[in-house]
Amino acid sequence: MTAERVNPPELSPPTGFSHAVVATGTRVVFLAGQTALDTDGRITGDTLPAQFEQALSNLLTALRAAGGTPADLARVTVYATDVAAYRAHAADLGRTWRALAGRDYPAMAVVEVVRLWDERALVEIDGFAVLP
């Protein structure tokens, strides 16, 4: 995939995301929402940072299984049950993102939700990627 990250100077400087991503490739991979489930189907981690790391790892595992890499991510949505907690942990979550996915940020949104499918889940991440 070729990805052009577009961050116009007329918009506030993005931190940990891109305002727009122009992706060119031949395959689109839609990634289902991932929470902090382990291989036995149980939520792991009691904190937002721990669950975020597992959820992102799960998303990237699915992406790699489809033949992609983190740089192929074009769009990601993060669903959090507490946006204030997400903001409070933003620096930690950013470090986790960079360690697992690098610095080629996709277009991104964070949305607060009342709850997720599993009541213990604090965060869910979905997205799509464009592969070469």
| pLDDT tens-digit map of 19-62 | 998 888 789 999 999 999 999 999 999 999 999 999 999 999 99
| Pairing relationship of beta strands 107-112 and 73-80 according to DSSP bridges | parallel
Burial 24-44 (b: 16+ CB within 10 A, else e): ebeeebebebbbbbeeeeebb
| pLDDT tens-digit map of 5-27 | 899 999 999 988 999 988 887 89
CATH of 34-131, one of 3.40.630.10, 3.40.50.300, 1.10.357.10, 3.30.1330.40: 3.30.1330.40
Nearest to 85 by CA among 130, 46, 34, 40: 46
Whether residue 27 contacts residue 63, with contact meaning beta carbons closer than 8 Å, is answered with no
| pLDDT tens-digit map of 59-100 | 999 999 999 999 999 999 999 999 999 999 999 999 999 999
Q: Tokens standing for 36?
A: 């902090």
